[in-house]
């Protein structure tokens, strides 16, 4: 099996795919990128926090015009995972307003976005409806 | 005894649209000279210049000076996303307020015709092996792969989030907001587009990012806008006609994002607007019910709805009902975007924050012609620059 790497550093593939945030140890604010100090309380100590892999769609849009190489239409969503807002695409759902709805329950899933010349596969995350 | 107030003495916007024969310096110079003439002053009077051109590189302020008059005054180059124009105006305002000078000139200009879709952090896929880059250590551009950076998509989510929170807003309602602004634009000869669309035409137009169709997106175009500001003390020495046409800046407010939980994944255009509005009303000593007209940042139809609520024009959560009541049409209780808004007047980014102040001034001076809001005495101009920055100015007609 070819080697797999996560598409972004905050996606962890093992033991099961999940997102990891940097959580401020003082106030609990969570960030997917690195911060010198907490944007909320200015604390400087952070610890890794696993993000819930299920949530609901708080907002979405169905994008018909995107950068070259991005298949359209696709659904971009803001998913609230147990109090933490996550941005991601929806997958395994027809990208139209009849099938995507505000408040729908979704869970994290992963897919291979492509391989490089060394054969390494990059794995990205998305959210799919919980049927 | 001076009140310490700052006034708009002269103001101008160019026709928005396609200016193939003019570059950004030409458009900026045209607006600046017209604003100076409108105020009855010259570059020799100006004590400060603040100017912005977001997409045009740096040094626009000095380029304007070389084009219309170099006097050695402090020149500030301002960049604050879509709030650039409002920020430039506020720089001139603060210089006068501080007592450093009596007159200031603020200019915003942009050439955007034919630019196409605007997005945030796209980067090219590069190299033959995966290579991590950026704040998230991504191996390729995240735009389109982890949500969207495109502006129509980001602001679609802003509107849909409101729809989810409060209900009552759907594709049709967002399209109706666009229908209003396009209808308003037919009375504005300086708008990039002056075409009235039916609701069906708007809803069946090309979908860009649901629920925003093309007609519901701000129009990329070329344009410039400029304003001359003056201290209260100096204004008293000018002619009665200049004093009569001067418009008082009752509040000039700029805010940025306070931390909110979700702001790292979806720009929060609400909290900073609510704070700016609260500060502006307090400074001006008025409330939203006193406003005769509002120009707000309808970069997309989905954005206009949330700002009804953010600016306190309606009760919290009731923006959809407020719109359905007809309040924001030009014959309603709180006319919003009688210029046609960014969706039809156009959105040459750095010019927008001065152009919407021009629109309000035009009505307060009673010079808005066919689209005049009769008896307008107080107005509010609002812009949002994503990232974010919010500029709000409350303007009042001279008592003379």
pLDDT for the residue B123 = 53
- The whole domain housing A57 covers 4-129
| B189 and B285 in a common domain | yes
B366 inside domain? yes
Q: Note whether residue B128 is domain-resident.
A: no
- For residue B57, being part of any structural domain is answered with yes
Same domain as B54, residue B93: yes
Query: In A, which residues are within 8 Å of B320 by CB distance?
Result: none
Same domain, B288 and B342: yes
* Residue A120 contacts B, CB cutoff 8 Å: yes
Q: What is the pLDDT of residues A98-121, one digit of tens each?
A: 999 999 999 999 999 999 999 999
Query: How do strand A121-129 and strand A4-6 relate by DSSP bridges?
Result: parallel
Give burial (CB, 10 Å; 0-12/13-18/19+) of A28: middle
Task: Evaluate whether B90 touches B65 at the Cβ level (below 8 Å).
Answer: no
The answer on pLDDT for B106 being more than 70 is yes
Angle between helical axes of B60-68 and B24-39 (0-180°, round to 10): 60
What pLDDT score was predicted for residue B371?
A: 97
Contacts of B3 (CB under 8 A, 6+ apart): B232
Structural domains in chain B (count)? 2
Same-domain pairing of B351 and B230: no
Same domain, B106 and B30: yes
From B252, B263, B225, select the one nearest B349 (Cα to Cα): B225
Q: What total of structural domains would you count in chain A? A: 1
Global confidence as pTM: 0.95
Q: What is the pLDDT of residue A1?
A: 61
Q: Do B241 and B260 share a domain, yes or no?
A: no
- Asked which of B199, B230, B248 is the last residue of a domain, the reply is B248
What is the average pLDDT value for chain B, to the nearest integer? 95
DSSP β-bridge partners for residue B210:
A62
Residues B182 and B286 in one domain: yes
User: Chain A contact for B139, CB < 8 A?
Assistant: yes
In a domain, residue B26? The reply is yes
Asked if residue B231 and residue B185 are part of one domain, the reply reads no
Q: Do B153 and A63 touch (CB under 8 A)?
A: yes
Collect all residues of chain B within an 8 Å Cβ-Cβ radius of residue A124.
145-146
pLDDT digits (tens, 9 = 90+) for B354-383: 999 999 999 999 999 999 999 999 999 999
Decide if B180 is inside a domain. Answer: yes
Domain for residue B232, yes or no? yes
pLDDT at B58: 80
* Mean pLDDT on A28-33: 96
Q: Are residues B256 and B359 in the same domain?
A: yes
Q: What is the pLDDT of residue B184?
A: 98
Least Cα distance to B45 among B199, B204, B234, B192 occurs for B234
**Average pLDDT for B20-40:** 97
Q: Answer whether residue B213 is part of any domain.
A: no
Interchain CB contacts (distance < 8 Å): A and B: 147
Residues paired with residue A88 on neighbouring β-strands, in sequence order? A77
Give the residue with greater pLDDT, B265 vs B236.
B236
Q: Measured between CB atoms, which of A7, A63, A116 is closest to B128? A: A116
pLDDT > 90? residue B115:
no
Q: Which two tokens stand for residue B208?
A: 């860009």
Give the Cα-Cα-Cα angle B367, B368, B369 (nearest 5 degrees): 95
CATH number, position B386 = 3.40.47.10
**Do B331 and B280 share a structural domain?**
yes
Please indicate if any CB of chain B lies within 8 Å of the CB of A97.
yes
Bridge partners of residue A56, in order along the sequence? A80, A105
Domain that holds residue B235: 6-115+221-248
User: Is residue B125 pLDDT above 60, yes or no?
Assistant: no
**Same domain (yes/no): B271, B259:** yes
Residue B147 vs residues A30, A56, B34, B300, B384: alpha-carbon distances, Å: 18, 15, 44, 18, 21
Q: Is B66 a residue whose pLDDT tops 70? A: yes
> What tens digit of pLDDT does each residue of B295-309 get?
999 999 999 999 999
B127-136, B232-241, B252-261: segment of lowest average pLDDT: B127-136
Chain B contact present for A3, CB below 8 A: no
ipTM computed for the complex: 0.96
Length of chain B: 400
- Do B53 and B110 lie in a common domain? yes
Q: Are strands A74-81 and A84-90 parallel, antiparallel or unpaired?
A: antiparallel
Rounded average pLDDT over B254-276: 94
């Amino acid at each position: 099996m070819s080697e797999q790497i996560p598409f972004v550093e905050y996606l962890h593939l093992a033991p099961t795919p999940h997102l990891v945030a940097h959580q401020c140890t003082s106030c609990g604010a969570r960030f997917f990128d690195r911060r010198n100090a907490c944007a909320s309380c200015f604390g400087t100590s952070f610890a890794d926090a696993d993000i819930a892999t299920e949530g609901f769609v708080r907002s979405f849009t169905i994008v018909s015009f995107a950068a070259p190489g991005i298949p359209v239409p696709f659904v971009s969503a803001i998913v609230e995972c147990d109090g933490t807002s996550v941005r991601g695409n929806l997958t395994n759902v027809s990208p139209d307003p009849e099938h995507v709805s505000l408040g729908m329950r979704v869970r994290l899933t992963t897919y291979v976005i492509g391989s490089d010349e060394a054969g390494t596969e990059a794995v990205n995350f998305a959210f799919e409806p919980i049927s | 005894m001076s009140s310490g107030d700052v006034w708009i003495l002269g103001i101008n916007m160019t026709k928005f649209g396609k200016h193939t024969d003019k570059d950004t310096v030409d458009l900026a110079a045209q607006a600046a000279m017209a604003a100076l003439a409108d105020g009855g002053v010259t570059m020799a009077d100006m004590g400060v210049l603040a100017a912005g051109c977001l997409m045009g590189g740096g040094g626009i302020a000095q380029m304007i000076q070389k084009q219309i008059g170099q006097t050695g005054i402090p020149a500030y180059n301002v960049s604050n996303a879509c709030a650039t124009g409002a920020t430039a105006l506020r720089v001139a305002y603060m210089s006068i307020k501080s007592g450093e000078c009596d007159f200031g000139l603020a200019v915003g200009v942009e050439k955007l015709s034919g630019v196409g879709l605007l997005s945030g952090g796209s980067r090219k896929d590069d190299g033959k092996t995966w290579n991590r880059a950026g704040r998230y250590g991504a191996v390729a551009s995240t735009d389109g792969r982890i949500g969207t950076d495109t502006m129509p998509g980001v602001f679609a989510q802003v509107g849909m989030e409101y729809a989810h929170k409060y209900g009552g807003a759907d594709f049709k309602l967002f399209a109706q907001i666009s229908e209003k602004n396009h209808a308003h634009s037919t009375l504005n000869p300086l708008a990039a587009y002056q075409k009235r669309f039916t609701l069906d035409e708007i809803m069946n137009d090309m979908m860009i990012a649901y629920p925003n169709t093309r007609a519901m997106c701000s129009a990329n175009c070329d344009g410039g806008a400029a304003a001359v500001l003056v201290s209260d003390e100096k204004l008293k020495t000018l002619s009665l006609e200049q004093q009569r046409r001067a418009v008082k800046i009752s509040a000039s407010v700029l805010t940025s994002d306070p931390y909110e939980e979700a702001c790292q994944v979806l720009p929060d255009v609400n909290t900073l607007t609510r704070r700016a509005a609260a500060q502006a009303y307090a400074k001006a000593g008025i409330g939203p019910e006193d406003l005769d007209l509002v120009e707000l940042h309808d970069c997309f139809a989905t954005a206009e709805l949330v700002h009804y609520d953010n600016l306190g024009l309606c009760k919290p959560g009731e923006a959809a009902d407020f719109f359905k009541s007809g309040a924001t049409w030009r014959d309603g209780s709180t006319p919003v975007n009688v210029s046609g808004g960014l969706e039809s007047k156009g959105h040459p980014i750095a010019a927008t924050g001065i152009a919407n102040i021009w629109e309000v001034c035009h009505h307060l001076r009673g010079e808005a012609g066919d689209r005049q809001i009769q008896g307008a005495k107080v107005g509010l101009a609002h812009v949002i620059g994503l990232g974010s920055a919010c500029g709000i100015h409350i303007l009042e007609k001279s008592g003379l």
